[in-house]
Chain A
Amino acid sequence: MDIIFEKVSYVYQKNTPFEHQAIQNLSFHIPSGAFVAIVGHTGSGKSTVIQHLNGLLRPTKGEVRIGEYILSSDQKIKELKQLREKVGVVFQYPEHQLFEETVVKDIAFGPQNFGVSQNEIEARTKSAFEAVGLSEELRERSPFDLSGGQMRRVAIAGILAIQPEVLVLDEPTAGLDPKGHREIMSMFKRLHRENELTTILVTHSMEDALEYADHVIILDHGTKYMEGKPEEVLIQKDKLQAVQLDVPEIIQFLFRVENIFGVKIPYQGQSIVDLASELNRLIRGDGSSE
Protein backbone atom coordinates (compact mmCIF):
# COMPACT_ATOMS: atom_id res chain seq x y z
CA MET A 1 0.00 0.00 0.00
CA ASP A 2 1.49 3.30 -1.07
CA ILE A 3 1.07 6.17 1.36
CA ILE A 4 0.75 9.64 -0.08
CA PHE A 5 0.45 12.93 1.81
CA GLU A 6 -0.70 15.69 -0.53
CA LYS A 7 -0.33 19.21 0.93
CA VAL A 8 -1.71 18.13 4.27
CA SER A 9 -2.36 20.65 7.05
CA TYR A 10 -3.89 19.95 10.43
CA VAL A 11 -5.10 22.44 13.01
CA TYR A 12 -6.00 21.42 16.57
CA GLN A 13 -8.93 23.14 18.34
CA LYS A 14 -9.73 25.28 15.35
CA ASN A 15 -11.56 28.56 16.08
CA THR A 16 -10.74 28.64 19.78
CA PRO A 17 -8.16 30.69 21.68
CA PHE A 18 -6.19 27.41 21.91
CA GLU A 19 -5.92 26.92 18.13
CA HIS A 20 -2.68 25.26 17.15
CA GLN A 21 -1.32 24.34 13.74
CA ALA A 22 0.38 20.94 14.03
CA ILE A 23 1.33 20.24 10.42
CA GLN A 24 1.41 22.53 7.48
CA ASN A 25 1.37 21.81 3.77
CA LEU A 26 3.08 18.48 4.23
CA SER A 27 3.66 16.27 1.19
CA PHE A 28 5.51 12.99 0.87
CA HIS A 29 5.23 9.59 -0.72
CA ILE A 30 6.04 6.30 0.97
CA PRO A 31 6.14 3.45 -1.53
CA SER A 32 4.76 0.05 -0.57
CA GLY A 33 7.37 -2.10 1.17
CA ALA A 34 9.61 0.76 2.28
CA PHE A 35 11.17 1.15 5.72
CA VAL A 36 10.84 4.84 6.46
CA ALA A 37 12.02 6.77 9.49
CA ILE A 38 10.21 9.97 10.40
CA VAL A 39 12.52 12.02 12.60
CA GLY A 40 11.95 15.28 14.46
CA HIS A 41 11.77 16.85 17.87
CA THR A 42 8.81 16.64 20.19
CA GLY A 43 6.28 19.04 18.73
CA SER A 44 7.52 18.70 15.16
CA GLY A 45 4.22 17.13 14.10
CA LYS A 46 5.25 13.47 14.17
CA SER A 47 2.36 12.25 16.26
CA THR A 48 -0.13 14.18 14.13
CA VAL A 49 1.25 12.43 11.05
CA ILE A 50 0.83 9.04 12.73
CA GLN A 51 -2.80 9.74 13.50
CA HIS A 52 -3.47 10.52 9.87
CA LEU A 53 -2.08 7.15 8.84
CA ASN A 54 -5.02 5.18 10.22
CA GLY A 55 -7.73 7.79 10.12
CA LEU A 56 -7.72 8.86 13.77
CA LEU A 57 -7.47 12.38 12.38
CA ARG A 58 -8.61 13.79 9.08
CA PRO A 59 -6.61 16.57 7.43
CA THR A 60 -7.90 20.12 7.87
CA LYS A 61 -6.58 20.77 4.38
CA GLY A 62 -5.11 18.52 1.72
CA GLU A 63 -5.43 14.80 1.23
CA VAL A 64 -3.98 11.60 2.61
CA ARG A 65 -4.07 8.48 0.45
CA ILE A 66 -3.31 5.10 1.95
CA GLY A 67 -3.67 2.48 -0.78
CA GLU A 68 -7.22 2.93 -1.99
CA TYR A 69 -8.39 4.84 1.09
CA ILE A 70 -8.64 8.60 0.91
CA LEU A 71 -8.79 10.93 3.90
CA SER A 72 -9.71 14.57 3.41
CA SER A 73 -11.54 17.28 5.31
CA ASP A 74 -14.81 17.03 3.41
CA GLN A 75 -15.34 13.31 3.20
CA LYS A 76 -15.57 10.79 5.94
CA ILE A 77 -14.54 7.37 4.85
CA LYS A 78 -16.87 4.56 5.72
CA GLU A 79 -14.27 1.83 5.62
CA LEU A 80 -12.38 3.29 8.58
CA LYS A 81 -12.31 -0.10 10.24
CA GLN A 82 -10.84 -1.77 7.16
CA LEU A 83 -8.17 0.91 7.04
CA ARG A 84 -7.28 0.27 10.67
CA GLU A 85 -6.96 -3.43 9.97
CA LYS A 86 -4.48 -2.70 7.20
CA VAL A 87 -2.48 -0.09 9.13
CA GLY A 88 -1.31 -1.28 12.54
CA VAL A 89 -0.02 1.35 14.95
CA VAL A 90 2.26 0.59 17.87
CA PHE A 91 1.93 3.72 19.98
CA GLN A 92 4.53 5.00 22.39
CA TYR A 93 4.46 2.97 25.62
CA PRO A 94 1.95 0.54 24.07
CA GLU A 95 1.82 -1.46 27.32
CA HIS A 96 -0.53 1.26 28.61
CA GLN A 97 -3.25 -0.16 26.39
CA LEU A 98 -3.28 -3.64 27.95
CA PHE A 99 -6.50 -4.45 29.77
CA GLU A 100 -7.48 -8.11 29.44
CA GLU A 101 -7.27 -10.74 32.17
CA THR A 102 -4.72 -12.83 30.34
CA VAL A 103 -1.93 -12.19 27.92
CA VAL A 104 -3.45 -14.38 25.23
CA LYS A 105 -6.83 -12.64 25.45
CA ASP A 106 -5.20 -9.25 25.09
CA ILE A 107 -3.32 -10.32 21.99
CA ALA A 108 -6.54 -11.74 20.53
CA PHE A 109 -8.47 -8.54 21.20
CA GLY A 110 -7.52 -6.75 17.97
CA PRO A 111 -8.19 -9.67 15.59
CA GLN A 112 -11.54 -10.27 17.35
CA ASN A 113 -12.61 -6.69 16.75
CA PHE A 114 -11.82 -7.11 13.08
CA GLY A 115 -13.93 -10.26 12.89
CA VAL A 116 -11.18 -12.82 12.44
CA SER A 117 -12.35 -16.41 12.95
CA GLN A 118 -11.54 -18.23 16.18
CA ASN A 119 -9.27 -20.79 14.49
CA GLU A 120 -7.41 -18.10 12.69
CA ILE A 121 -6.99 -16.12 15.93
CA GLU A 122 -5.42 -19.17 17.60
CA ALA A 123 -2.89 -19.44 14.82
CA ARG A 124 -2.18 -15.73 14.82
CA THR A 125 -1.63 -15.39 18.56
CA LYS A 126 0.72 -18.35 18.42
CA SER A 127 2.84 -16.80 15.71
CA ALA A 128 2.69 -13.36 17.39
CA PHE A 129 4.04 -14.98 20.57
CA GLU A 130 6.93 -16.40 18.59
CA ALA A 131 7.59 -13.19 16.70
CA VAL A 132 8.05 -11.06 19.82
CA GLY A 133 9.94 -13.78 21.67
CA LEU A 134 7.50 -14.37 24.54
CA SER A 135 7.56 -17.77 26.13
CA GLU A 136 4.34 -19.76 25.81
CA GLU A 137 4.06 -20.24 29.57
CA LEU A 138 3.04 -16.59 29.92
CA ARG A 139 -0.14 -17.20 27.90
CA GLU A 140 -2.54 -17.42 30.81
CA ARG A 141 -0.79 -14.89 33.04
CA SER A 142 -2.25 -11.48 33.74
CA PRO A 143 -0.44 -8.90 31.61
CA PHE A 144 -0.18 -6.69 34.70
CA ASP A 145 2.04 -9.26 36.46
CA LEU A 146 4.73 -9.07 33.79
CA SER A 147 7.89 -7.01 33.70
CA GLY A 148 7.92 -3.76 31.73
CA GLY A 149 9.80 -5.34 28.84
CA GLN A 150 7.43 -8.29 28.66
CA MET A 151 4.37 -6.03 28.72
CA ARG A 152 5.84 -4.10 25.82
CA ARG A 153 6.16 -7.35 23.86
CA VAL A 154 2.60 -8.39 24.63
CA ALA A 155 1.32 -5.04 23.40
CA ILE A 156 3.35 -5.31 20.20
CA ALA A 157 2.14 -8.90 19.69
CA GLY A 158 -1.41 -7.53 19.97
CA ILE A 159 -0.80 -5.33 16.95
CA LEU A 160 1.08 -7.99 14.97
CA ALA A 161 -1.84 -10.39 15.43
CA ILE A 162 -4.00 -8.01 13.41
CA GLN A 163 -1.57 -8.76 10.56
CA PRO A 164 -1.45 -5.25 9.12
CA GLU A 165 0.21 -4.46 5.81
CA VAL A 166 1.57 -1.19 7.15
CA LEU A 167 3.23 -1.11 10.56
CA VAL A 168 3.61 2.27 12.23
CA LEU A 169 5.99 2.40 15.20
CA ASP A 170 6.01 5.40 17.51
CA GLU A 171 9.23 5.29 19.56
CA PRO A 172 8.75 1.56 20.08
CA THR A 173 11.77 1.20 22.37
CA ALA A 174 11.27 4.22 24.63
CA GLY A 175 12.33 3.39 28.19
CA LEU A 176 13.85 0.01 27.33
CA ASP A 177 17.43 -0.80 28.20
CA PRO A 178 20.02 -1.24 25.42
CA LYS A 179 19.51 -4.98 25.19
CA GLY A 180 15.73 -4.62 24.96
CA HIS A 181 16.16 -1.90 22.38
CA ARG A 182 18.34 -4.07 20.17
CA GLU A 183 16.05 -7.07 20.43
CA ILE A 184 12.89 -5.15 19.61
CA MET A 185 14.42 -3.23 16.72
CA SER A 186 15.93 -6.30 15.08
CA MET A 187 12.58 -8.03 15.45
CA PHE A 188 10.87 -5.24 13.52
CA LYS A 189 13.58 -5.38 10.89
CA ARG A 190 13.02 -9.11 10.50
CA LEU A 191 9.23 -8.78 10.35
CA HIS A 192 9.59 -6.04 7.77
CA ARG A 193 11.62 -8.35 5.54
CA GLU A 194 9.73 -11.57 6.09
CA ASN A 195 6.20 -10.20 5.83
CA GLU A 196 6.96 -7.57 3.19
CA LEU A 197 5.53 -4.87 5.41
CA THR A 198 5.63 -1.16 4.87
CA THR A 199 7.25 0.04 8.09
CA ILE A 200 7.15 3.59 9.37
CA LEU A 201 9.39 4.24 12.33
CA VAL A 202 8.80 7.48 14.18
CA THR A 203 11.83 8.25 16.30
CA HIS A 204 14.15 10.77 17.91
CA SER A 205 17.08 8.50 17.32
CA MET A 206 19.34 9.33 14.42
CA GLU A 207 21.23 6.12 15.09
CA ASP A 208 18.11 4.03 14.51
CA ALA A 209 17.15 6.02 11.44
CA LEU A 210 20.59 5.32 9.99
CA GLU A 211 20.67 1.69 10.97
CA TYR A 212 17.19 0.52 10.06
CA ALA A 213 15.52 2.83 7.54
CA ASP A 214 16.01 3.03 3.80
CA HIS A 215 14.37 6.44 3.62
CA VAL A 216 14.17 9.32 6.12
CA ILE A 217 11.77 12.22 6.42
CA ILE A 218 12.81 14.97 8.80
CA LEU A 219 10.08 17.16 10.23
CA ASP A 220 10.50 20.53 11.85
CA HIS A 221 7.66 22.67 13.19
CA GLY A 222 5.06 20.78 11.22
CA THR A 223 6.75 21.00 7.85
CA LYS A 224 9.02 18.69 5.91
CA TYR A 225 12.58 19.85 6.49
CA MET A 226 14.58 17.18 4.66
CA GLU A 227 13.92 13.90 2.90
CA GLY A 228 15.99 11.19 1.25
CA LYS A 229 18.27 8.22 1.80
CA PRO A 230 19.65 8.11 5.36
CA GLU A 231 23.27 8.06 4.21
CA GLU A 232 22.63 11.20 2.17
CA VAL A 233 20.41 13.13 4.58
CA LEU A 234 22.07 12.28 7.86
CA ILE A 235 25.52 13.48 6.77
CA GLN A 236 24.33 17.06 6.32
CA LYS A 237 25.66 18.24 9.64
CA ASP A 238 25.08 21.98 9.34
CA LYS A 239 21.57 21.67 8.06
CA LEU A 240 20.61 19.22 10.81
CA GLN A 241 22.25 21.27 13.52
CA ALA A 242 20.30 24.32 12.37
CA VAL A 243 17.21 22.58 13.78
CA GLN A 244 19.13 21.15 16.73
CA LEU A 245 19.25 17.60 15.46
CA ASP A 246 22.43 15.58 15.76
CA VAL A 247 24.11 13.55 13.10
CA PRO A 248 24.67 9.89 14.01
CA GLU A 249 27.77 9.26 16.09
CA ILE A 250 29.77 7.46 13.40
CA ILE A 251 29.25 10.38 11.03
CA GLN A 252 30.19 12.88 13.73
CA PHE A 253 33.37 10.93 14.21
CA LEU A 254 34.20 10.93 10.49
CA PHE A 255 33.82 14.71 10.41
CA ARG A 256 36.31 14.99 13.28
CA VAL A 257 38.76 12.71 11.49
CA GLU A 258 38.51 14.92 8.42
CA ASN A 259 39.18 18.01 10.55
CA ILE A 260 42.23 16.61 12.26
CA PHE A 261 43.86 14.44 9.61
CA GLY A 262 42.72 16.43 6.61
CA VAL A 263 41.64 13.17 5.01
CA LYS A 264 38.04 12.46 4.17
CA ILE A 265 36.76 8.98 4.91
CA PRO A 266 33.33 9.02 3.28
CA TYR A 267 30.40 7.44 5.07
CA GLN A 268 29.13 4.54 3.03
CA GLY A 269 27.38 2.46 5.62
CA GLN A 270 30.58 0.85 6.86
CA SER A 271 30.56 -1.18 10.05
CA ILE A 272 32.78 -0.38 13.00
CA VAL A 273 35.08 -3.20 11.89
CA ASP A 274 35.50 -1.60 8.44
CA LEU A 275 36.00 1.80 10.01
CA ALA A 276 38.72 0.44 12.30
CA SER A 277 40.69 -0.93 9.37
CA GLU A 278 40.30 2.33 7.44
CA LEU A 279 41.60 4.25 10.46
CA ASN A 280 44.38 1.76 10.93
CA ARG A 281 45.57 2.31 7.38
CA LEU A 282 45.30 6.05 7.90
CA ILE A 283 47.47 6.22 11.01
CA ARG A 284 50.06 3.92 9.50
CA GLY A 285 50.20 6.29 6.56
CA ASP A 286 49.42 3.48 4.19
CA GLY A 287 48.73 5.57 1.09
CA SER A 288 47.79 2.60 -1.03
CA SER A 289 44.54 2.14 0.90
CA GLU A 290 41.74 4.08 -0.81
Chain B
Amino acid sequence: MEKRIVTFRNVSFRYRESLPWVLNNVSFSINADEWVAIIGHNGSGKSTIAKLMNGLLTPQEGEILVNGTPVTPETIWEIRKNIGMVFQNPDNQFVGTTVQDDVAFGLENRGFPRKEMVKRIKQTLLQVGMEAYTLHEPHRLSGGQKQRVAIAGVLAIAPQVIILDEATAMLDPRGRLEIMETMHHVKEQHNVSFIMITHDLKEVVRADRVIVMSEGKVVEIAPPRDIFAKKEKLQQSGLDIPFVAKLVDELTKLGTKLSKEPLNHDELLEELWTLYLKR
Protein backbone atom coordinates (compact mmCIF):
# COMPACT_ATOMS: atom_id res chain seq x y z
CA MET B 1 0.00 0.00 0.00
CA GLU B 2 1.17 3.50 -0.73
CA LYS B 3 2.28 5.67 2.14
CA ARG B 4 -0.47 7.99 3.34
CA ILE B 5 0.79 11.40 4.19
CA VAL B 6 -2.41 13.24 5.03
CA THR B 7 -5.64 11.68 6.27
CA PHE B 8 -8.94 13.42 7.07
CA ARG B 9 -11.35 11.24 9.03
CA ASN B 10 -14.92 12.52 9.32
CA VAL B 11 -13.79 16.09 9.79
CA SER B 12 -16.35 18.82 10.46
CA PHE B 13 -15.59 22.45 11.08
CA ARG B 14 -17.43 25.71 11.72
CA TYR B 15 -16.15 29.07 12.87
CA ARG B 16 -18.77 29.51 15.58
CA GLU B 17 -21.56 27.43 16.96
CA SER B 18 -24.15 29.84 15.63
CA LEU B 19 -22.79 29.54 12.10
CA PRO B 20 -23.39 26.74 9.60
CA TRP B 21 -20.80 24.03 9.05
CA VAL B 22 -18.05 25.05 6.63
CA LEU B 23 -16.93 21.44 6.34
CA ASN B 24 -19.33 18.62 6.95
CA ASN B 25 -18.04 15.11 7.60
CA VAL B 26 -15.11 15.25 5.20
CA SER B 27 -12.91 12.20 4.70
CA PHE B 28 -10.08 11.59 2.26
CA SER B 29 -6.41 10.75 2.22
CA ILE B 30 -3.42 11.88 0.22
CA ASN B 31 -0.45 9.70 -0.61
CA ALA B 32 3.21 10.56 -0.48
CA ASP B 33 4.43 12.12 -3.71
CA GLU B 34 0.90 12.51 -5.05
CA TRP B 35 -0.50 15.58 -6.82
CA VAL B 36 -4.04 16.25 -5.69
CA ALA B 37 -6.27 19.08 -6.82
CA ILE B 38 -9.12 20.25 -4.62
CA ILE B 39 -11.72 22.15 -6.62
CA GLY B 40 -14.95 23.79 -5.65
CA HIS B 41 -16.91 27.04 -5.91
CA ASN B 42 -16.13 29.99 -3.63
CA GLY B 43 -17.31 29.10 -0.16
CA SER B 44 -17.29 25.35 -0.78
CA GLY B 45 -14.88 24.87 2.12
CA LYS B 46 -11.83 24.00 0.05
CA SER B 47 -9.54 26.59 1.64
CA THR B 48 -10.62 25.56 5.11
CA ILE B 49 -9.18 22.11 4.39
CA ALA B 50 -5.76 23.65 3.86
CA LYS B 51 -5.87 25.61 7.11
CA LEU B 52 -6.97 22.56 9.07
CA MET B 53 -4.14 20.51 7.63
CA ASN B 54 -1.39 22.44 9.37
CA GLY B 55 -3.27 23.46 12.45
CA LEU B 56 -4.11 27.05 11.58
CA LEU B 57 -7.68 25.99 12.38
CA THR B 58 -8.87 23.13 14.60
CA PRO B 59 -11.86 20.94 13.68
CA GLN B 60 -14.79 20.46 16.08
CA GLU B 61 -15.25 16.88 14.97
CA GLY B 62 -13.15 14.18 13.40
CA GLU B 63 -9.44 13.62 13.14
CA ILE B 64 -6.62 14.80 10.90
CA LEU B 65 -3.42 12.80 10.60
CA VAL B 66 -0.21 14.02 8.99
CA ASN B 67 2.40 11.29 8.61
CA GLY B 68 0.41 9.23 11.06
CA THR B 69 0.56 11.93 13.75
CA PRO B 70 -2.73 13.56 14.79
CA VAL B 71 -2.74 17.35 14.34
CA THR B 72 -3.01 18.78 17.86
CA PRO B 73 -1.72 21.97 19.50
CA GLU B 74 1.27 19.95 20.76
CA THR B 75 2.24 18.60 17.35
CA ILE B 76 1.57 21.55 15.04
CA TRP B 77 5.09 22.95 15.05
CA GLU B 78 6.50 19.58 14.12
CA ILE B 79 3.80 19.18 11.44
CA ARG B 80 4.43 22.62 9.98
CA LYS B 81 7.97 21.51 9.18
CA ASN B 82 6.45 18.97 6.81
CA ILE B 83 3.71 21.09 5.31
CA GLY B 84 4.48 24.22 3.35
CA MET B 85 1.69 26.58 2.38
CA VAL B 86 1.37 29.18 -0.33
CA PHE B 87 -1.63 31.46 0.16
CA GLN B 88 -3.86 33.39 -2.21
CA ASN B 89 -2.76 37.00 -1.80
CA PRO B 90 0.84 37.43 -3.00
CA ASP B 91 1.24 40.61 -0.97
CA ASN B 92 0.00 39.39 2.38
CA GLN B 93 2.43 36.50 2.74
CA PHE B 94 5.59 38.29 1.69
CA VAL B 95 7.28 38.91 5.03
CA GLY B 96 10.78 39.91 3.93
CA THR B 97 11.79 43.30 2.65
CA THR B 98 13.64 41.66 -0.24
CA VAL B 99 13.34 38.36 -2.10
CA GLN B 100 16.21 36.68 -0.28
CA ASP B 101 14.95 37.87 3.11
CA ASP B 102 11.57 36.39 2.39
CA VAL B 103 12.94 33.00 1.40
CA ALA B 104 15.12 33.13 4.53
CA PHE B 105 12.16 33.73 6.86
CA GLY B 106 11.17 30.07 7.31
CA LEU B 107 14.80 29.04 7.66
CA GLU B 108 15.49 31.73 10.26
CA ASN B 109 12.45 30.59 12.25
CA ARG B 110 13.85 27.07 12.36
CA GLY B 111 17.31 28.18 13.41
CA PHE B 112 19.25 27.15 10.31
CA PRO B 113 22.91 28.24 10.34
CA ARG B 114 23.64 31.15 8.03
CA LYS B 115 25.81 29.14 5.66
CA GLU B 116 23.06 26.58 5.07
CA MET B 117 20.54 29.39 4.56
CA VAL B 118 22.60 31.03 1.85
CA LYS B 119 22.96 27.70 0.09
CA ARG B 120 19.27 26.87 0.24
CA ILE B 121 18.16 30.34 -0.80
CA LYS B 122 20.34 30.13 -3.86
CA GLN B 123 19.13 26.63 -4.74
CA THR B 124 15.44 27.29 -4.31
CA LEU B 125 15.45 30.63 -6.10
CA LEU B 126 17.12 28.84 -8.99
CA GLN B 127 14.42 26.18 -8.95
CA VAL B 128 11.63 28.73 -9.22
CA GLY B 129 13.57 30.82 -11.73
CA MET B 130 13.91 33.88 -9.51
CA GLU B 131 17.69 33.85 -9.06
CA ALA B 132 18.03 37.14 -10.91
CA TYR B 133 15.81 38.91 -8.37
CA THR B 134 17.56 38.01 -5.12
CA LEU B 135 17.77 41.58 -3.86
CA HIS B 136 14.50 42.88 -5.32
CA GLU B 137 11.86 44.45 -3.12
CA PRO B 138 8.38 42.94 -3.27
CA HIS B 139 6.62 46.02 -4.64
CA ARG B 140 8.83 45.83 -7.72
CA LEU B 141 7.75 42.26 -8.51
CA SER B 142 4.71 40.98 -10.39
CA GLY B 143 2.13 38.82 -8.63
CA GLY B 144 3.43 35.68 -10.32
CA GLN B 145 6.98 36.49 -9.26
CA LYS B 146 5.92 37.04 -5.66
CA GLN B 147 4.15 33.69 -5.64
CA ARG B 148 7.25 32.00 -7.04
CA VAL B 149 9.24 33.52 -4.20
CA ALA B 150 6.65 32.15 -1.80
CA ILE B 151 7.11 28.70 -3.35
CA ALA B 152 10.88 29.05 -2.96
CA GLY B 153 10.37 29.98 0.70
CA VAL B 154 8.35 26.82 1.19
CA LEU B 155 10.78 24.61 -0.74
CA ALA B 156 13.69 25.89 1.31
CA ILE B 157 12.47 23.99 4.36
CA ALA B 158 12.09 20.80 2.27
CA PRO B 159 8.54 19.83 3.32
CA GLN B 160 6.81 16.59 2.32
CA VAL B 161 3.63 18.38 1.33
CA ILE B 162 3.16 21.71 -0.42
CA ILE B 163 -0.32 23.22 -0.35
CA LEU B 164 -1.18 25.94 -2.84
CA ASP B 165 -4.29 27.56 -1.44
CA GLU B 166 -5.78 29.34 -4.48
CA ALA B 167 -2.28 30.59 -5.12
CA THR B 168 -3.13 31.52 -8.71
CA ALA B 169 -6.52 33.16 -8.11
CA MET B 170 -5.20 36.72 -8.02
CA LEU B 171 -2.73 36.34 -10.88
CA ASP B 172 -2.95 37.29 -14.54
CA PRO B 173 -2.73 34.51 -17.15
CA ARG B 174 1.02 34.94 -17.44
CA GLY B 175 1.44 34.63 -13.67
CA ARG B 176 -0.74 31.51 -13.63
CA LEU B 177 1.36 29.92 -16.32
CA GLU B 178 4.52 30.77 -14.38
CA ILE B 179 3.18 29.02 -11.30
CA MET B 180 2.04 25.93 -13.19
CA GLU B 181 5.42 25.64 -14.89
CA THR B 182 7.22 26.14 -11.60
CA MET B 183 5.16 23.37 -10.02
CA HIS B 184 5.96 20.92 -12.80
CA HIS B 185 9.60 21.80 -12.53
CA VAL B 186 9.61 21.28 -8.76
CA LYS B 187 7.71 18.01 -9.05
CA GLU B 188 10.36 16.63 -11.38
CA GLN B 189 13.12 17.38 -8.92
CA HIS B 190 11.60 16.60 -5.54
CA ASN B 191 9.65 13.87 -3.86
CA VAL B 192 6.85 16.03 -2.61
CA SER B 193 3.07 15.89 -2.50
CA PHE B 194 1.22 18.81 -4.03
CA ILE B 195 -2.21 19.86 -2.93
CA MET B 196 -3.55 22.47 -5.29
CA ILE B 197 -6.70 24.26 -4.24
CA THR B 198 -8.41 26.05 -7.11
CA HIS B 199 -11.64 26.73 -8.92
CA ASP B 200 -10.06 26.57 -12.35
CA LEU B 201 -10.55 23.20 -13.99
CA LYS B 202 -7.72 23.91 -16.43
CA GLU B 203 -5.32 23.67 -13.50
CA VAL B 204 -6.36 20.18 -12.45
CA VAL B 205 -5.52 18.34 -15.69
CA ARG B 206 -2.05 17.36 -14.49
CA ALA B 207 -3.17 16.17 -11.07
CA ASP B 208 -3.22 12.50 -10.14
CA ARG B 209 -6.54 12.85 -8.39
CA VAL B 210 -9.16 15.51 -7.99
CA ILE B 211 -11.34 16.14 -4.95
CA VAL B 212 -14.51 18.03 -5.85
CA MET B 213 -16.02 20.03 -2.98
CA SER B 214 -19.45 21.58 -2.82
CA GLU B 215 -21.27 23.15 0.14
CA GLY B 216 -18.73 21.78 2.61
CA LYS B 217 -18.94 18.21 1.39
CA VAL B 218 -16.78 15.98 -0.74
CA VAL B 219 -18.78 15.36 -3.90
CA GLU B 220 -16.30 13.24 -5.79
CA ILE B 221 -12.75 11.92 -5.61
CA ALA B 222 -11.36 10.60 -8.89
CA PRO B 223 -8.65 11.08 -11.52
CA PRO B 224 -9.18 14.15 -13.74
CA ARG B 225 -10.36 12.06 -16.68
CA ASP B 226 -13.24 10.62 -14.70
CA ILE B 227 -14.08 14.02 -13.26
CA PHE B 228 -14.25 15.59 -16.72
CA ALA B 229 -16.68 12.88 -17.77
CA LYS B 230 -19.09 13.83 -14.97
CA LYS B 231 -20.17 17.11 -16.44
CA GLU B 232 -23.46 17.38 -14.67
CA LYS B 233 -21.85 16.95 -11.31
CA LEU B 234 -19.35 19.68 -12.10
CA GLN B 235 -22.06 22.04 -13.19
CA GLN B 236 -24.11 21.33 -10.08
CA SER B 237 -21.03 22.15 -8.02
CA GLY B 238 -20.86 25.61 -9.60
CA LEU B 239 -17.81 24.82 -11.71
CA ASP B 240 -17.10 25.43 -15.34
CA ILE B 241 -16.90 22.66 -17.86
CA PRO B 242 -13.71 22.90 -19.89
CA PHE B 243 -13.91 23.58 -23.60
CA VAL B 244 -12.76 20.10 -24.57
CA ALA B 245 -15.32 18.42 -22.33
CA LYS B 246 -18.13 20.60 -23.70
CA LEU B 247 -17.12 19.82 -27.25
CA VAL B 248 -16.96 16.10 -26.50
CA ASP B 249 -20.43 16.33 -25.02
CA GLU B 250 -21.82 17.87 -28.21
CA LEU B 251 -19.97 15.37 -30.39
CA THR B 252 -21.39 12.50 -28.37
CA LYS B 253 -24.89 13.88 -28.88
CA LEU B 254 -24.23 13.71 -32.62
CA GLY B 255 -23.34 10.05 -32.31
CA THR B 256 -19.56 10.27 -32.24
CA LYS B 257 -18.12 7.57 -30.00
CA LEU B 258 -14.75 8.24 -28.40
CA SER B 259 -12.65 5.51 -26.79
CA LYS B 260 -11.90 7.58 -23.69
CA GLU B 261 -12.68 10.98 -22.20
CA PRO B 262 -10.04 13.36 -23.63
CA LEU B 263 -8.38 15.82 -21.25
CA ASN B 264 -6.91 18.26 -23.73
CA HIS B 265 -6.78 19.32 -27.38
CA ASP B 266 -4.16 16.71 -28.25
CA GLU B 267 -6.13 13.80 -26.91
CA LEU B 268 -9.37 14.92 -28.52
CA LEU B 269 -7.72 15.48 -31.89
CA GLU B 270 -6.09 12.09 -31.71
CA GLU B 271 -9.47 10.48 -31.12
CA LEU B 272 -11.00 12.41 -33.99
CA TRP B 273 -8.12 11.52 -36.30
CA THR B 274 -8.59 7.81 -35.51
CA LEU B 275 -12.28 8.09 -36.34
CA TYR B 276 -11.45 10.03 -39.50
CA LEU B 277 -9.13 7.24 -40.69
CA LYS B 278 -11.78 4.62 -39.96
CA ARG B 279 -14.56 6.44 -41.81
Binding site for B on A (CB under 8 A): 41-43, 147-149, 174-180, 182, 204-205, 244, 246, 249-250, 252-253, 256-257, 260-261, 272-273, 275-277, 279-280, 282-285
Contacts and interface: CB of A to CB of B under 8 A. Distances in A.
B174 interface: yes
B169 A175 contact: yes
A246 B200 CA distance: 17
Interface in B221-256: 238-240, 243, 246-247, 250-251, 253-256
A283 B42 contact: no
Given A42-B142, A276-B254, A179 B238 contact: yes
A217 to B, nearest CB: 17
B269 interface: yes
Contacts of A43: 142
A154 to B, nearest CB: 16
Interface residues of B, number: 33
A261 B273 contact: yes
A175 B47 CA distance: 14
B199 interface: yes
Q: Which 9 pairs show the lowest CB-CB distances between chains A and B? A: A276-B250, A178-B240, A177-B199, A179-B238, A283-B276, A177-B42, A204-B172, A280-B254, A285-B279
Contacts of B42: 147-149, 176-177, 180
B122 interface: no
A41 B238 contact: no
Interface string B253-272: 11110000000010001001
Most B CB contacts (10 A, CB to CB) among A256, A277, A280 go to A280
Interface in B93-148: 142-143
15 contacts: A41-B172, A41-B174, A149-B42, A177-B41, A179-B240, A205-B173, A246-B173, A253-B247, A261-B276, A273-B250, A276-B251, A280-B251, A282-B272, A282-B276, A283-B279
